Structures are given as structure tokens and as C-alpha cells.
Structure 1
Amino acid sequence: MDRDKAVEVKSVSKHFGTYQALKSVSFDIGENEFFTMLGPSGCGKTTLLRMLAGFESPDQGSILLHGREVTQIPPHKRRVNTVFQSYALFPHMTLEQNVAYGLENLGWERAKIRARTGEMLERVHMSAMATRKPGQLSGGQRQRVALARALAPEPEILLLDEPLSALDLKLRQAMRDELRNLQRDTGITFVFVTHDQEEALDMSDRIAVLGAGEVQQIGTPAQIYEEPVNRFVADFVGETNFLDVEVLDSREGQATIRTPLGTFGVPATGAAQKGRATLSIRPEKINLGDQAAGGITLAARVVNQNYMGGFTHYTLETGGVTLRASRRNASRQGDLVATGADVTIGFLPGSARVLAS
């Protein structure tokens, strides 16, 4: 995806005492991109977000916003706004006053403030509640107001620090759609921080997976999920089965491997050399029963099942190996494969991936 660069992070490192939070991190974020930094607690994603906002400074490296070096520029002089997990609304102010507050500090004219405040509350569907105070709102409504306040000054970049984590499941799902639509409508670069892989896959143009203070992989949601470059990414993003295997031959992105399930060829990362390696197979790539046609087929036994409504999770044993599989329930509960049943399972070689151990 070709874009002008809104953000450039160049060889950024950060220590907190003896703890190294970031280790020479580099990446670019495109103009008008929805970019997500995804990773577990302690991986460095929030530290990076605070650096973009100007609340932290790197020990080494530099940060550029639209080509301008900002490492030493304070937060109020950057055209960057942040939506925090806590929303940080003023409880004694009405929604109108909350949205207008930042514009007043910037010295906007009264008429312009009134018009912009009304426009932003309308954009987040909160105009009817403009005279209420935050304490009279639900979590989702407060989230919308926090977004309106952050977007009102027309920032070039909007930073979002896990803003959906306090919402219930259905509201989180609805707010994902609202955030994505807001980003498309405004054309503002969104930089989103989360530990929730589903949020990242659902909303992002690109994702940076962080682990142990380093960027493990950057790519589209499909690339991150279908083509993980290492075991960390495959394990953190989605569920997967791991098998210890031996690479017998590897060339041009393909590897011949010996596994407990047999010897066959599969796609491989560039790091997969001859010798010990790891095979990753996503549960939904393993088909059962009448769906197990073509590719590699095996005899297995169902040792457990978890019915989840739209799909069922299975635990299978085959050749001394335990595998997890997921099957969509296409019509009715009668489609289930019973616990204890002997069943044929299968997967296409192209759906598995060899990773360096």
C-alpha cells in the first residue's frame, strides 16, 4: 500500500532503569492509515504510543511526524491527540463543554467552536445528549464523546490507547465499526494500541506485532494471520497447533518436512533451514469427516468437543499427537462429531506453515 509517511520511527530504544522497554524499533505509518500496535503487556506498545504523543522521549533514535523531527517537541506543539482507556472526560462539564474545551485553549473563535462542537457530536451520534454530563452516560457513550473531543481540533494523527477495553463484548464490536468508519470519513491517521488480536484483525490496514520490546512482524491482517514469520506471532495472533518437525529440504519458500504425521511439503519462512523446526496449523484449517477431502488425510479420534453455537472446537488424537480443530456448524447441532468417535481428518499442505524453532 503506497502512502505518504505520517509517522517514521527510526531505531528507537528506551530504558526504564535497567529494564529495556524498546530495542531499536523502526517502522513507518502511512498517511490516512489505520495502523495497530498489537502485543502482550510489557511489549513496549504503550511506550511507543506515549513517544508519539510526546509524553516520553527515546534514549536513542528519532521520531518524525509528516517528515518533521519531533523527538524534542512537547505534546502541545504536536498536531496529535490521544483517546485514553479511561476517556478522561471532565465530570463537571457538559458534553458540549468537554468537546469545546480543547478548542478554547487553542484560541478558536466562539462561533467556530460552537459549529465544530456541534459537528463532532453529530458525527458520533451524541447531539441529543449535548447538555448532559459524563456521569449520566454509559461507557459506550462516554467513549464517543472522548472521540469527538479528540477529533475536534483536527489533529493530523489520532492515538488510541486501548479505548475499547472497558466496554462489554457487544459494545466493543459495535465501536469497532464506528472507529473504522470515523477513520475513513475523516481521513486522519489512526494509531491504535491493543492486546486484543480480534480488534487488530478487524479494524487495521496494517498491524505491527510487538514482543519483548521488538517488532516481530508488520503486515496486513491477512499476512499476520496466514503468514506469521515466527512462532511468537503464530502463537499470539489466533490459535494454532504446533508440531516439532525436521526440515529435510528447503528452497524457494517450500520445505519438505518429516513430522509425526508423515513426510510432506509445505510453505516455509525464509528462516526455515534444514534441521529442527516448528510446524503451525490453524485449527480451522483441519477438516473433519465428510469435509476432509484432498490434501493430507489421517485417521483420528475425537477426545473432546466444545459446542460454541456457530462453531465447535474439537480435541483430536492422531499418531500420538494431540490436535485442535474448529468446525463451523453449517446447519444444526446434528452436524456434531461425537466425543469418542473415530473420524478422518485432513488439511491442505498450503494451509500449514514451517517456522524456525
Structure 2
Amino acid sequence: MSQQNAVEVIDVSKNFGSYQALRSVNFEIRENEFFTMLGPSGCGKTTLLRMIAGFETPDRGKFLLHGRDIVDIPPHKRRVNTVFQSYALFPHMTLAQNVAFGLENLGWERARITARVGEMLERVHMGAFANRKPEQLSGGQRQRIALARALAPEPEVLLLDEPLSALDLKLRQAMRDELRTLQRDTGITFVFVTHDQEEALDMSDRIAVLGSGEVQQIGTPSEIYEEPSNQFVADFVGETNFFEVEVLESTEKTATVRTPFGQVISVPSSTHVLPGKATLSIRPEKLNLGDQAQGVAFQAEVVKKHYLGGYSHYQLSVGGVEIRASRRNASREGDMISVGSTVHVGFIEGSARVLAA
């Protein structure tokens, strides 16, 4: 195994009774990487996280931590710590005592524990609160203490099980930045589980999209969003339009298709598709409207409009085919395209994608 891999997941399968949660999952998590497992409820992401932590055992396959098989190693002997959604702080202890707890169990000397606790509280901007109890803290502050406690023993890997889901929107956004900074500053590999696509795109070095107990795609945020490998990934990550098209000819990377609007275009393809019916995906923001329309062009009727401050979202109709489009409100007056009007629509061929099923 390469020295650059912190965790390796090898042919892992897991059943719960007759339900198969994971099917022959394989991937690697690199050293000093912010790696996210993203997917809907029931896709297997939390089960994978719990198996890395040692709280579940695979039915088949194994996990390597820096090259060492850890399947038979109990959780407390793995250099892996977990930050839970519930934070799991001890209510009767001060914040300093919460952070010190794991270090005491590891047998660290008192002076070393005191220094490390002080360092970690400062790192999460909670040094002035050392003697408070968890009940005296806000949700965001409790989150910081849970992070400090998990990071204090210098784990090789930090596992984060949807730790931001209980926070309000503004605080979640602030904590994203703090988590990313913590990961960069400590150099520890972070493995993050979430169903929130925006969180995953914002924080991750790479993302594994899981669905139906399998890895659907692994890539950088831009690869996952701009180059989805199949319909599941395109549909789950962000919004997109799906159109049925006819494939006239194709290579491994491109396909020439006839669109529902009559044009014949050549677009990128996620796989070598055979002639016949296929699915074309194009993101709403890739469709340019009105005076911005360029490339492949047609006209559409504006059926609905949703003004959301910085952007306006539209539902369009072209010969009975519904399309969603998004346009940035660049001027102070906002977007002037009105419901019921006919608007020019255009997109660049390279911004669309023919997908595998």
C-alpha cells in the first residue's frame, strides 16, 4: 500500500439480517486529506464510518489503517477518534476535564495533559471557558469542545458523523470554515459523513458518493459536480435537468446526440454509450437566458419564477418539455424576465453531459 494512504477499504460488505447495507466497497483515503462520504439516508455511509471506528464489523473485507489491518483491533486500541452528531460530552465535567478525559485514560502525565488541554482549547477558541460545564454552552461551543476532545490524543484519523446537522444555518457555515482550518492546521486525516451536498462540496478534498450500498463515484468536488459518472450522482449532487436524447454516434469521451429540441450536438459522455436512447444532463445555471443566451440556442416559455435574492430560478417549457434554469441577479433591479414571456435559452455543448444509467 502507498505511504500516502491513511485508510484503505478493501472489498467490504455488510448485511443487517436480509438487508444488504454495503456491497463490495473499495476505496482509499489519503494521508492529510479531508475525505467526505456523501449520500442519502440508508446508503451505508454511517455504517462504513462505524466500521472504521470499530463499532461494527464487516461481514467480508477489511480495513487498513496506515497499512495495518484493524478489523480485529477493538475501538479503544485504534488511533481513530469520532465526533458524534450528539457531541457526547460529560455533563458533570468542566470543559477542561472533558478534553482531558481521553488523555488520562491513555496514561499521559499530568503536566503533559494540562499543556495539551490548554493548547486544544485555544485551538478551538474556547480557552476562556475551560471551567464551564457543557450545559452553559451554545450548540456551536459544544461542537468545538467535542472536536478538541477528539483531537487531543493526536489520532491518526478523525471521524465526523454529521457533526453540523444540529446547528443553525449561519453557525453551520461558520463551523465549516473552522473544521477545514483545523484539518489543515493539525495535518490529521478527516473522514466526514454527511447527506448535505453543499457541506461536502465546500470542505472536501475528495468525495465518495454512496448510493444503494455501493460507491457511485469518487472525485474532487468539481469532478463530482461537473463530471458526474451516472444519473444517481448527477441527481443527488446539486440540481440538474435530464432529457432523453438519441445517440447517433459516440466515442469513449463524447457522444453526438439529437436533443428533444431538434439540434444535433456533440457533448462529453461519462461512458461509451451505444447508439439509441440515452440521458442528457445539464445544470440549471449552465442555461443562459435572454441576452446572455449563446451556443446551442432555442426559445422557451417562462412558466414559473422564484426570486431568491442573489439568484432567480425559472421553470421553462419547450414544446411540453420542462426545464429548470437559474440566473444570477447581477443588477440592483433584479432579473426582469417575467412569467408568461418567451425567452431565448442557450448553453455551451461542453456544459452538458451524456450519462450512464
Q: Which amino acid aligns with 1:206?
A: R
Distance 1:70 1:58 in 2: 11
Cα deviation for residue 195 of structure 1 reads 0.3
Cα deviation for residue 317 of structure 1 reads 0.9
Corresponding residue of 2:265: 264
Corresponding residue of 1:185: 185
- Alpha-carbon contact 1:82-1:158 (below 8 Å) kept: yes
Cα deviation for residue 275 of structure 1 reads 1.5
Distance 1:271 1:11 in 2: 26
Distance 1:212 1:325 in 2: 29
Distance 1:103 1:352 in 2: 53
- Alpha-carbon contact 1:159-1:191 (below 8 Å) kept: yes
Matched, 1:213 2:199: no
Task: Pick which of 265-274 and 30-39 moved more.
Answer: 265-274
Matched, 1:100 2:92: no
SS in 1 for 2:178: helix
- Alpha-carbon contact 2:312-2:335 (below 8 Å) kept: no
1:70-149 pair list within 5 angstroms? 70-149=70-149
Matched, 1:284 2:282: no
Q: Which amino acid aligns with 2:95?
A: L
Instruction: Tell me which stretches of 4 or more aligned residues in structure 1 moved more than 3 Å.
Output: none
Cα deviation for residue 307 of structure 1 reads 0.3
Distance 2:188 2:181 in 1: 11
Structure 2 unmatched ranges of 5 or more:
none
Share of identical aligned residues, percent?
A: 75
- Alpha-carbon contact 1:271-1:355 (below 8 Å) kept: no
Cα deviation for residue 334 of structure 1 reads 4.1
- Alpha-carbon contact 2:253-2:272 (below 8 Å) kept: no
Structure 1 unmatched ranges of 5 or more:
none
Q: Which amino acid aligns with 2:63?
A: I
SS in 2 for 1:22: strand
Distance 1:68 1:101 in 2: 27
Q: Give the TM-score of the pair, scaled to structure 1.
A: 0.98
SS in 2 for 1:150: helix
- Alpha-carbon contact 2:250-2:272 (below 8 Å) kept: no
- Alpha-carbon contact 1:329-1:336 (below 8 Å) kept: no
Matched, 1:63 2:60: no
SS in 1 for 2:345: strand
Q: Which amino acid aligns with 2:327?
A: R
Superposed CA RMSD: 1.0
Cα deviation for residue 204 of structure 1 reads 0.2
Distance 1:92 1:106 in 2: 21
Corresponding residue of 2:235: 235
Distance 1:189 1:44 in 2: 20
Count of aligned residue pairs for this structure pair: 355
Distance 1:152 1:300 in 2: 58
Task: Pick which of 164-173 and 243-252 moved more.
Answer: 243-252
Matched, 1:5 2:8: no
CA deviations 1:52-96 (Å, max 9, x no partner) are 000111100111000000011100110000000000000111100
